[in-house]
């Protein structure tokens, strides 16, 4: 499990770095400085979504739909795999399975967010319900990923402490 964790974690990290250093800054520029939907961990209102969609250039919209969403197709699965591998490696009992379920939930919410954001980007008319659904998926993703990262940090701190 340790090897699976490190391989999937490094691949997810490489994708995250690519998005953080290249695609996210590009989309930030193409939307007049407004962060893309994926980078709003507390979700967004209808007005905020409209403002983003109105500010996003045509080139930015195409980039979001193609490059960014393609990068974000691999990332959630790799990140969840790394979390599950770590939890299976470092835990025993029900915590192992509970946190693994949260990791799978995070990937599912991220994929759902991607689908709903795709819908916002291609829609002729964006409704308040479409935004609310996308925002909820973003919020669920953010909370579940935060739980997993926090648990992972605690587990690694505990492992380092136990080695000393």
Smallest Cα–Cα separation from 116: which of 32, 15, 37? 37
Smallest Cα–Cα separation from 110: which of 67, 79, 151, 152? 79
Confidence class for position 1, pLDDT limits 50, 70, 90 = confident
Compute the radius of gyration of the chain from its Cα atoms: 17
Report the alpha-carbon distance of residue 18 to residue 43 in Å, rounded.
23
Domain boundaries, the chain: 2-163
> Residue 93 in 3-state DSSP?
coil
Smallest Cα–Cα separation from 29: which of 64, 51, 60, 65? 60
**Cβ-based neighbour number of residue 164 at 10 Å:** 4
- Please give the model's pTM, rounded to 2 decimal places: 0.92
> Residue 36 in 3-state DSSP?
coil
How high is the pLDDT of residue 162?
A: 84
pLDDT digits (tens, 9 = 90+) for 14-49: 999 999 999 999 999 999 999 999 999 999 999 999
23 CA to centre of own chain: 14
Report the alpha-carbon distance of residue 18 to residue 114 in Å, rounded.
17
How high is the pLDDT of residue 58?
A: 96
Smallest Cα–Cα separation from 37: which of 128, 144, 125, 114? 114
pLDDT digits (tens, 9 = 90+) for 54-100: 999 999 999 999 999 999 999 999 999 999 999 999 999 999 999 99
Confidence class for position 159, pLDDT limits 50, 70, 90 = confident
pLDDT digits (tens, 9 = 90+) for 108-147: 999 999 999 999 999 999 999 999 999 999 999 999 999 9
């Amino acid at each position: 499990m340790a090897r699976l964790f490190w391989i999937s974690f490094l691949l997810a990290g490489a994708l995250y770095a690519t998005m953080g250093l290249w695609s996210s800054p590009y989309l930030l520029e193409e939307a007049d400085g407004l962060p893309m939907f994926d980078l709003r961990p507390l979700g967004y209102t209808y007005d905020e979504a409209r403002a983003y969609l109105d500010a996003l250039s045509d080139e930015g919209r195409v980039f979001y739909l193609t490059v960014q969403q393609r990068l974000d197709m691999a990332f959630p699965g790799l990140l969840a795999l790394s979390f599950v591998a770590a939890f299976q490696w470092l835990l025993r009992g029900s915590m192992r399975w509970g946190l693994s379920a949260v990791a799978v939930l995070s990937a599912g919410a991220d994929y759902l967010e991607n689908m709903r954001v795709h819908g916002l980007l291609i829609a002729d008319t964006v409704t308040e319900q479409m935004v609310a659904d996308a925002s909820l998926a973003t919020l669920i993703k953010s909370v579940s990923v935060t739980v997993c990262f926090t648990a992972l940090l605690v587990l690694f701190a505990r492992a380092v402490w136990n080695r000393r």
